[in-house]
Chain A
Amino acid sequence: MAVVKLSELISKMKLKNLTPSVSVRSAKITQADINRPALQLTGYYEHFDENRIQIIGHVEYAYMEQMKPKEKRVKFEQLLSHKLPCIIFARNLTPDALFLEIASSKKVPVLSTRMATSEVMAEIIRWLNVKLAPSIRVHGVLVDVYGEGVLITGESGIGKSEAALELLRRGHRLVSDDVVEIRKVSDDTLIGTAPDVTKYFIELRGIGVIDVKALFGASSVRDTSNIDLVIRLEEWDKDKDYDRFGLEESKTAFLGNEVVCHDIPIRPGRNLAIICESAAVNHRQKKMGYNAAQELYERVQKMMEERSRE
């Protein structure tokens, strides 16, 4: 299961650590959800999810402020005795000295932000959803072609990297060569990145490794891209039926999400880059509401009807 270090969250969200004595180095977050512990402060702990980040906003703060000192100690002890990943005070609210004291002794990190409560919640959930998304590594090349993320797959040595290089030279952008880390950020979105070690590098047989960003500039690379389309390269198989019309789309799945997939047969003389480009722009046009295969189908239908009426 994916985890995020608390220290990463602190630096990303620019949080202020109010309990410096509590070590955050080994603390980890495993859930992208958030809890506002208002009900827990009243003493109701049924269904309490202690693995979640706890956020204290104006309501919880005002409620804590009006408690009597004796009640404060009981309620704070009760809340902070759970193994909470951290507690965040929004709007720069300053926690009670007693709260910080108990949190320090129970080793619960208390953080603060100047962001408004709903803003910090939305930001954290959005960021954690990406970070904690299920992920896999696939063998392939990811290129951003006209804004469409095209994942080119196929056996080693079939020409994926060469196709990517040609696409770069035509002004498209490389995300990753050979290894793509795919994350499922929602039920219809997959995003791909390169592993840090191999970022911006392409391997070309016979030449070796080249640094695309250094050679062709920052405009030739991208750090992450959605995966909108898969192009599967394979040796031409004369017994296999390749799509000639394009009315039905075949799909392939990663992490349970389906992506449109084209099987492209390789034969000497086929310009792969231009095929990838056309596939990408055609996919884009379909998303914008025009389907060339459908249009052709309708034209033929219409002609047939006219003929039968004559």
Chain B
Amino acid sequence: MSKKKVKIGEAVVVDARGIAKAVQLASHYESALHIKARNMSANLKSIMGMMALELAKGEEITLVAEGSDEEEALAGLQHYFAGV
């Protein structure tokens, strides 16, 4: 299992469409992916779970991956959420 802390970038769109994109990206990976924010956690491959998390720009999140391609998944998602 690997973890990575990310601060959501100012340029990242975290509206419903942005979240849907992140979920789509996460679904490409084999690993089980979770996100933690404000003491809550959600499955990164679940649209509803991610929407209910109500993420905001500038917020600190933790990405947790477990599986065969966890490093790759973390790198991809970090890239997405940091907006760089």
Contacts and interface: CB of A to CB of B under 8 A. Distances in A.
Interface of A: 137, 139, 155-157, 177-179, 195, 197-198, 201, 203, 209
Interface in B11-47: 27, 32, 40-43, 45-47
Contact of A198 (B41, B43, B52): B52
23 contacts: A137-B41, A137-B52, A139-B43, A139-B46, A139-B49, A155-B32, A156-B27, A156-B43, A156-B45, A156-B46, A157-B45, A178-B46, A178-B47, A178-B48, A178-B49, A179-B42, A179-B48, A179-B52, A195-B52, A197-B54, A198-B48, A198-B51, A209-B47
Interface of B, helix, strand, loop or mixed by DSSP: mixed
A285 B45 CA distance: 36
A84 B46 CA distance: 43
Given A195-B52, A197-B52, A197-B54, A137 B40 contact: yes
Q: For chain B, which range describes its interface: under 10, 10 to 19, 20 to 34, or 35 or more residues?
A: 10 to 19
Interface of B: 27, 32, 40-43, 45-49, 51-52, 54
Contacts of B43: 139, 156
Nearest to A137: B40
Contacts of B45: 156-157
B55 to A, nearest CB: 11
A179 B46 contact: yes
A156 B54 CA distance: 20
A157 B32 CA distance: 12
B54 A179 contact: no
A178 B54 CA distance: 15
Contacts of B40: 137
A244 B52 CA distance: 38
Contacts of B54: 197
Contacts of A157: 45
Given A137-B40, A179-B48, A197-B52, 6 more contacts: A177-B48, A178-B48, A179-B46, A179-B52, A195-B52, A198-B52
Contacts of A139: 42-43, 46, 49
A156 B46 CA distance: 7
Contacts of B52: 137, 179, 195, 197-198
